[in-house]
Structure 1
């Protein structure tokens, strides 16, 4: 039960960080004028990119950090700050430069297949989502927890795919104002997740912050 509850928390966190609604706005902009078949293919490539990148980060991220001599607590602080910057941008209903710079956005207009870059990575499965996948993997607690995390990642990719495939319907249904409101709400949740990551890392790096109980 604890693993399933943790898996649910992880799923919610990943959905908020990846933010499929951002994919709805982005695919509408980046594929304007494309045929429905090409837009569907773009959505599929983006969802596959999300799944592959985040699963790879979950499986190999801690090992790669070890090669650079970076501990998980240090990474939690750095990753938490990055995610907090994303949350602040979401509160302003903007993607923010931590996901995609204006130069990358301009370059994307010239790409024939933008499902992988920049839509899949860095817009949806960007540094923040990769950081979260590594942190959640470290917290998974073993093979069963890791399997649940991988299922969560696949579910997030599927949700993103459904959102992008239905971008026209969703845009008409809730409009840009509705998307912005939902993005701000997710930004608020994401800021709390980011603060949690930072606090967890700082308590390990500086046990004195825990107060007398640490002794």
Structure 2
């Protein structure tokens, strides 16, 4: 009886690998240790799923994106310079995969192609003014650098926090602030006549 209860306790205790910090587990996984990589998968799947679900708005593709991220991580794990930064590295990979999936699933439409209906009581001049304003915003966005435009869209359209934008774009929050400041300044100058 004692032998069975002792065996039951041993089965419940986490293995030393399960208790090891990210640096050790990532280092062993980078050397090809499948058991260590399994620990990484168990440790970070819930967080990666939650982040992906937020980006994809609860899409059914969440598990596919997380799985793709782990495949990429397994292939690129030897390239990870600082194994202690495993968490942020994994979150960048899954964030990029989710954003790629989001971009691929959305039709690419220019704001110039969208017919913005005006209220029935609006005069034709008001409709023309609205369309011209949208065209001006589209032109202002096109003159931004790719990084500024992506940062502005993630913040103003996607509602991302500065930290989330930094993770998605793989840049520090200070860079996010700078990109947004330049983008906003450019748009304000370009849209001055529409205020």
TM-score by length of 2: 0.30
Q: From the CA coordinates, give the structure whose radius of gyration is larger.
A: 2
Q: Which has the higher contact order (CA 8 A, sep 6+)?
A: 1
Higher helix share: 1
